[in-house]
Amino acid sequence: MPIVTLLPSGHQVEVPEGTLLFDAACRAGLPVASSCSAQAVCGKCVMRVTTGADQLNPISEHEKKVLKRDHREPEERLSCMAKVQGNCSVQASYW
Ligand code: FES
């Protein structure tokens, strides 16, 4: 199963392939900001992918639109849209 590393603590969580980054962080006991119940609307759940961006599902047009609306960097993903397919590491600004 893929391993997600949560930075800066370096805490690791093993999750089944297809798990959302959002859920992986919650499983690790870390809070994830959200005001849309993970419906890919609010943009608050964004995480910076530091390694393994190619181990996540491709960005959908909807996700691209939300990231662009919020002026996000290319290495950022909505954790409620990003599915883990292999090892990766991510960081949220408030961890
Ligand atoms: S939780 Fe609102 S966009 Fe992801």
CATH number of the domain within which 64 lies: 3.10.20.30
Give the count of alpha carbons within 13 A of 48, CB side only: 10
| Ligand 1, atom 1: closest residue by C-alpha | 38
pTM of the model: 0.96
Range of the domain at 23: 3-91
- Written as six digits, the tokens of 82 are 């990003």
> How many domains, in total, are found in the chain?
1
Q: Where are the beta strands (DSSP E) in the chain?
A: 3-7, 11-14, 46-51, 76-78, 88-91
| Tens of pLDDT, residues 8-61 | 999 999 999 999 999 999 999 999 999 999 999 999 999 999 999 999 999 999
Q: Is 77 helix (H, G, I), strand (E, B) or coil?
A: strand
Contact 75, 51 (CB under 8 A): no
| 47 CB near ligand 1 (under 6 Å) | no
